[in-house]
Structure 1
């Protein structure tokens, strides 16, 4: 039997709220399912609340609202926070990505999250509604 986890996209107001919502969808109130992109990718691989056989679907309702909330402005905010903590060998790359986000170019957090889900799960796992 396939388990469906629902993200109410209209409730996504930023990246921190996305982490709350996906954690609750998979593991109930206060649940954890990653709090950064790498941890999220790891959780999608199994063992963090999803069925071991991968028989689950993520239904992302009103994803257009999430795409707006997780757009270039939120992407830039995240990158600004990362820039000061980035390893010296990564600062130039983070700086370039930040400059792009500030001008409305490059992948957004929404794009990255969708890409991670698609890369780490089977076809048909993500349903954008």
Structure 2
């Protein structure tokens, strides 16, 4: 018998930047507000921050709209906001990532978020968390 997992739906048509995605994702959480930090997203997906305890499906409706909204321009905007707090020892590599995003190259914010989520599902390092991502 197949176990039925709870399905939480992110609506990619309801936002057009990272802050909007954070609000939309937080809407799914019980008693917790995620503010857009990707390390914190990793923690949320591990559980204990308002997600179902024994695995769940994250259905990202309108994911192609989100792919555009969280593309290179939004990636560059996020990196620009983070740049002042970057450790000097990492500044050159960080600046190179920012320059690439400005040129429309390299992974986007959408790619990064998807990668974080997939780490918590089948084949990921934290697959035991049981988060199944569906991009629709």
**TM-score for both structures, normalised by structure 1:** 0.90
Q: Shift in Å at residue 80 of structure 1?
A: 0.6
1:67-96 per-residue CA deviation (whole Å, 9 max, x = no partner) reads 000000000000111111111111111100
CA distance in 2, matches of 1:34, 1:122: 26
Q: Shift in Å at residue 34 of structure 1?
A: 4.8
Q: Shift in Å at residue 98 of structure 1?
A: 0.3
Residue segments in structure 2 that go unaligned for 5+ positions in a row? 124-130
Equivalent residues in 2 for 1:47-126, closer than 5 Å: 47-53=48-54, 55-122=55-122, 125-126=132-133
- The answer to whether 1:13 aligns with 2:13 is no
Q: 1:128 matched to which residue of 2? A: 135
Count of matched residue pairs = 126
Q: Cα RMSD between the aligned structures?
A: 1.6
Q: Shift in Å at residue 6 of structure 1?
A: 0.5
More deviation in 89-98 or 66-75? 89-98
**TM-score for both structures, normalised by structure 2:** 0.86
Q: Say if 1:44 and 1:120, in contact at 8 Å, map to a contact too.
A: yes
Q: Say if 1:6 and 1:59, in contact at 8 Å, map to a contact too.
A: yes
Q: 1:42 matched to which residue of 2? A: 43
Residue segments in structure 1 that go unaligned for 5+ positions in a row? none
More deviation in 113-122 or 37-46? 113-122
